[in-house]
Amino acid sequence: MRTQVAIIGSGPSGLLLGQLLTDAGIDNVILERATRDYVLGRIRAGVLEEGTTHMLDEAGAGARMHAQGLPHDGFDLTFAGKHHRIDLHALTGKRVMVYGQTEVTRDLMDRRAETGGVTIYEAADAEPHDFDGGKPYVTFKSNGVEQRLDCDFIAGCDGYHGPSRKAVEGKGLETFERTYPFGWLGIVADVPPVSHELIYSNHPRGFALCSMRSNTRSRYYVQCALDEKVEAWSDDRFWDELRSRLPAETAQAMTTGPSIEKSIAPLRSFVAEPMRFGRLFLVGDAAHIVPPTGAKGLNLAASDVRYLFDGLREHYSDRSDAGIDAYSQRALARVWKAERFSWWMTNTMHRFPDAGSFGQRIQEAELDYLTGSQAASTSMAENYVGLPF
Ligand code: RFL
Ligand code: PHB
């Protein structure tokens, strides 16, 4: 089998890259380890930057998002029992779109099917080869049969645990990492959201986030200990804990109901450098992870795809490798700024076990400054809506 660009992974980054390439007449094949339903079953990101929504439009996959997504002009920060609204639109002229990653993935999969793009699901043991030379290829097993996909380039869109980054270990790969001493316990429930905007809450019992997927489906999170077990959290226990971390009037207004999903995610900051190794490119979560506090993960996957797609298009249509050569540097410049913002927002909003009373007062001063200063609010807002790409 032969294609121009072999894409490993059918998450948002692989699907978006694949669609832009297909629309530009550049042949590509996606190899995905899981089934379509498994990929669609993952509940993850919820907040899209305008740059990401523009890319979905460019890929012809934005119609349902515009019809059903919820544009948000701001969000609430709560601490010390009070609400402070960050007016994203007034501060930056931009807004964000609340539309679930599951729906983004579904829209991109539907568009790929419409335009005849090839995805091989349940591709086992995918492994990139010979990307240092001019003839790269990917081996994998399909229905137990060994296969080989020859290509010009390999896009490693295979997430944090995928084979692409493993293939470049010991080849000049440098990694940077920070783990946090807590996780997020999250639920989805078919109840109306407590507020029409997101609420990020800093509370002595720990961080909480009120988000949503629609006007009838809520997504809520509470900070939890790393060794916490999801089985120990009945729905009632979750709702009680969530309400205890919100201002009284918000807690009283909350509609509760049975959860339809409940899981714990650890928080991590991680960057792999560089993001290009010859004819292999690392894209999205394969190259970097941010803690979800800043809602940046999926949006960084989209900006990586922007830079890589532009580079590949220039390679095929203009016979210029300038964009490909600049990929790693351009992507990492934006990645590190989002890493900084996500790290900062995580530090500002969570309880750290070892912060002590000094750390506690510093956090309160930071929040007070943030909500009292137009300059500080604007800085937060411009990072939250997304730096340009
Ligand atoms: P993905 O989505 O992990 O997709 C990788 C794909 O590669 C496949 N794969 C393989 N395929 C073939 N062979 C192999 N050997 C393979 N190994 C793996 C996998 O099956 C999968 O289909 O990476 P991608 O495309 O780079 O997308 C990244 C985003 O998914 C991620 O950054 C976001 O979900 C992060 N995130 C958020 N991002 C935001 O922008 N806004 C948010 O509000 C937001 N909230 C979140 C989040 C992530 C969360 N969790 C659980 C990690 C909230 C949470 C709780
Ligand atoms: C979500 O809706 O899942 C969500 C929203 C905002 C975040 C993280 C997750 O910062």
User: Structural domains in the chain?
Assistant: 5-71+96-177+268-345 (3.50.50.60), 181-266+356-385 (3.30.9.10)
Residue 262 falls in the annotated catalytic set: no
Q: Does residue 9 line the site of ligand 1, with CB under 6 A?
A: yes
Ligand 2 pocket list (CB less than 6 A)? 46-47, 198, 211, 219, 292-293, 295
Sign (positive/negative) of CA torsion 6, 9, 10, 16?
A: negative
Encode the chain (389 residues) as per-residue pLDDT tens digits.
999 999 999 999 999 999 999 999 999 999 999 999 999 988 888 999 999 999 999 999 999 999 999 999 999 999 998 999 999 999 999 999 999 999 999 999 999 999 999 999 999 999 999 999 889 999 999 999 999 999 999 999 999 999 999 999 999 999 999 999 999 999 999 999 999 999 999 999 999 999 999 999 999 999 999 999 999 999 999 999 999 999 999 999 999 999 999 999 999 999 999 999 999 999 999 999 999 999 999 999 999 999 999 999 999 999 999 999 999 999 999 999 999 999 999 999 999 999 988 988 999 899 999 999 999 999 999 999 999 99
Quote the pTM value.
0.97
Q: Does residue 285 line the site of ligand 1, with CB under 6 A?
A: yes
Residue 2 near residue 150, CB atoms below 8 Å:
yes
Considering every ligand atom shown, identify the ligand nearest to the alpha carbon of residue 186 and give its number: 1
Residue among 156, 126, 149, 150 nearest 280 (CA) = 156
Position 162: which residue type?
G
How far is the centre of ligand 2, averaged over its atoms, from the C-alpha of 320 (Å)? 39
Atom of ligand 1 minimally distant from the CA of 283: 26
Residue among 300, 310, 305, 302 nearest 281 (CA) = 305
Residue 72 falls in the annotated catalytic set: yes
Q: Which of 99, 180, 200, 327 is catalytic?
A: 200
The whole-angstrom separation of Cα 154 and Cα 229 is: 38
- pLDDT given for residue 43 in this prediction: 84
| Mutate which of 285, 288, 309 for ligand 1 pocket (most atoms within 8 A of beta carbon) | 285
Query: For ligand 2, atom 5, which residue shows the shortest CA distance?
Result: 46
Residue among 12, 35, 37, 38 nearest 122 (CA) = 35
Residue 384 falls in the annotated catalytic set: yes
Q: Which of 203, 288, 296, 350 is catalytic?
A: 296
Q: Does residue 33 line the site of ligand 1, with CB under 6 A?
A: yes
How far is the centre of ligand 2, averaged over its atoms, from the C-alpha of 47 (Å)? 6
How far is the centre of ligand 2, averaged over its atoms, from the C-alpha of 136 (Å)? 38
Angle between helices 12-23 and 101-114 (to 10 degrees): 30
* DSSP state, residue 357: H
